[in-house]
Amino acid sequence: MSRRTVTTWLCTVKRTASLISLGLGGRTRGQAIRIAAGLWLAALFLWNAPVHARPPKLVLFITVDALGSDLLLRMRPRLHGGLAQILSEGAFFPNTYYQYAETVTAPGHATLATGANPWRHGIVGNTTFNTASGRWEAAFEDPDHPAHGISETWAGSSPDRLLAETVSDHLRLDSQSRSKSIAISVKARAAIALAGKSGQAWWFQTDAGEFTTGTYYAKELPGWVKVFNAKRIPEQYFTRQWTLFGPGEEYIGADDRPFESERYGLGRTFPHPLDGAQPTPGPQSHWALAVSPYMNDVLVQFAKAAMEAEQLGRHPTADLLSISFSSTDYTYHFFGPYSWESQDAMLRLDASLAELISAAQKAAGGSANLLVVLTADHGGMAIPEELASEGVTSIRVDQARLQQGLTAALQAQFGANLLAGLSVTRVYLEPKAIAARRVDPAAARRFAAHWLSQQAPVALAVARDDLSSGPPGAGYLSMLQKGHHPERGGDVLFILKPFHLLTEGKTGTSHGSPYGYDSQVPFALLGKGVKPGLYLQKIHTVDIAPTVAALLEMGAPAMAEGTPRAEAIAPAQPPRIR
Ligand SMILES: [Zn+2]
């Protein structure tokens, strides 16, 4: 205490002593001062004592695939369910950004889970090119630990390639495995990233229409998963149609637009049949269901079964239930973020989340024990043709043509086919061909980067050698740098101009750029320890894991590079003085 503080404190003690003397007649002034000093010391001790740690009993970590802040803010006035509750009663950061360029599902979930960018967690894209095997591999591919049931290696099956600790891993370590962590999604790459290495990951095997995991996580499926799969719930949707949730006049724009994709027998307009255009249930109808928002309800039913079977929220330490809703992403890819389908998907998700939050509250023994987190793995650009109709310069860039052009340029310069693969923001060169031609690998990379940067749709291209020293690229170079991992990140990195879509498709749309429509996502918190409010400051998705860790009253994951958002954490309540 400073001299001034001591003087103030002594004055307060003396004033209290006077009151005590008045109230307790018969005491001497010395006795009164001693009593007053004792009382104030006790009070000071109590006010300054650390508050007993009481983190939530259950954390419900929700990610919504392809939910850009744009889409959420546009839909917000029409929401009245779980989404609306989280945004209006919780802490809402609509200006949360990814810091790397390739904004797709696997790196997105890995970043949300670890608080790190791909340069640290190593998940640079949904697929990476393996120059040894000569093929593209899934981000979480692991032939040594396949998934149970039908093998879908393209989906991935283990967290072996994830190089950073997740919130899930840290919670399990911190609680000495007393906390449970369960992650659920339609997509393996979402569930695996969220579960990390020591949680459980469950995903939907679309071919079989069942939930599964990899042998990394479980030697065999536990009883409750077998019971759930045996109910064949996905097949109950086979004869149903995806209909409008609300009155037709509330949907903005036209339902039928020629640039929407038609797949799995869904058609372009409501009502959408869910039978996959097949006579009996099978992969096609499972896919039709996965694209529709009805799949969210299947995930919620599975989450409820998990809460019940694993007694989530009933352990001495906090449990973590992570759930990634994937159907919003498929709907977005096929129909675009302005479509009736995306509007409907949000209305139905809003209703599904109300049910999920209510079930989680029950599991946790009341809302006072629950923390809800909401965020997204990326946003998504609108369909180029719909942007163009609004006057935006937006074009489809033919991926095959770009690849052929680069192949020809490398052939002309070095006399060999040096290109191994090209995807989203990455180019991989063929090391064997480079060695065989005795070409300097850095010269080949720099040549390819230079050629790409000369192409009209390309905003920036750089060899990996120049990631830290190249031209700033209007600030986008650092996003390529944070998205690159030296072992898997490719030889040349590039970014297209805004509203340019690298694709071979003629309909639908995609994401994967550093621009706001792909990189800006919501982050919201509701419940235990949260200070509600609308927080408009720009923050980053790497802040999410450290913030959740802070609310769990534990350290941050080991490689996290973000900052806990202290402004959204309620000050600890001092104990009442009795
Ligand atoms: Zn995604």
Instruction: Give strand ranges (E) for 258-338.
Output: 272-273, 319-325
The count of domains in the chain is 3
CA of 315 to the centre of ligand 1 (A): 32
Residue 98 Cα, ligand 1 centroid: separation in angstroms? 13
The DSSP symbol for 530 reads B
Cβ count within 10 A of residue 441? 15
Regarding whether 140 and 74 lie in a shared domain, the answer is: yes
Q: Are residues 407 and 450 in the same domain?
A: yes
Domain match, 144 and 212 both: yes
| 231 and 359 inside one domain | yes
Distances in Å between the Cα of 293 and the Cα atoms of 176, 199, 277, 296, 300 are 37, 26, 18, 5, 11
Mean pLDDT calculated for residue range 363-374: 97
In CATH, what number is assigned to the domain containing residue 473? 3.30.1360.150
Both 39 and 94 in a single domain?
no
Residue 143 CA to residue 275 CA, distance in Å, equals 32
Contacts of 279 (CB under 8 A, 6+ apart): none
Ligand 1 centroid–CA 260 distance in Å is: 19
Same domain, 180 and 73: yes
- Percent of the chain past pLDDT 90, that is, above it, reads 86
Q: State yes or no: pLDDT of 6 exceeds 70.
A: no
CA–centroid distance, 336 to ligand 1, in Å, is 14
- Vertex 297, ends 296 and 301: CA angle to 5°? 120
Are both 71 and 124 inside the same structural domain?
Answer: yes
Average pLDDT over every residue of 76-97: 98
Model pLDDT, residue 7: 46
Rounded mean pLDDT, 275-287:
97
pLDDT in tens, 127-156: 999 988 899 999 999 999 999 987 666 778
Flag whether pLDDT at 47 surpasses 70: no
CA of 67 to the centre of ligand 1 (A): 9
- The verdict on residue 390 lying in a domain is no
Is 577 within the bounds of a domain? no
Measured in angstroms, how far is the CA atom of residue 410 from the centroid of ligand 1? 33
pTM of whole model > 0.85? yes
Distance 4 CA to ligand 1 centre (A): 58
Pairing of strands 426-429, 272-273: unpaired
Q: How far is the CA of 313 from the centre of ligand 1 (A)?
A: 28
| Residue 473: half-sphere exposure toward Cβ, Cα within 13 Å | 24
User: What value does the mean pLDDT take over residues 240-250?
Assistant: 97
Q: How far is CA 9 from the centre of its chain?
A: 50
Closest CA to 65 of 126, 124, 137, 118: 126
Structural domain boundaries enclosing 357: 58-216+227-318+328-370+514-535+551-568
Residue 62 Cα, ligand 1 centroid: separation in angstroms? 13
Does the pLDDT at position 558 exceed 90? Answer: yes
Q: Are 170 and 177 spatial neighbours (Cβ–Cβ below 8 Å)?
A: no
Q: Are residues 199 and 114 in the same domain?
A: yes
Residue 123: inside a domain? yes
Same domain, 44 and 85: no
Return the biggest CA–CA distance within the chain.
107
The mean pLDDT value of the chain amounts to 92
216 Cα: distance to centroid of ligand 1 (angstroms)? 23
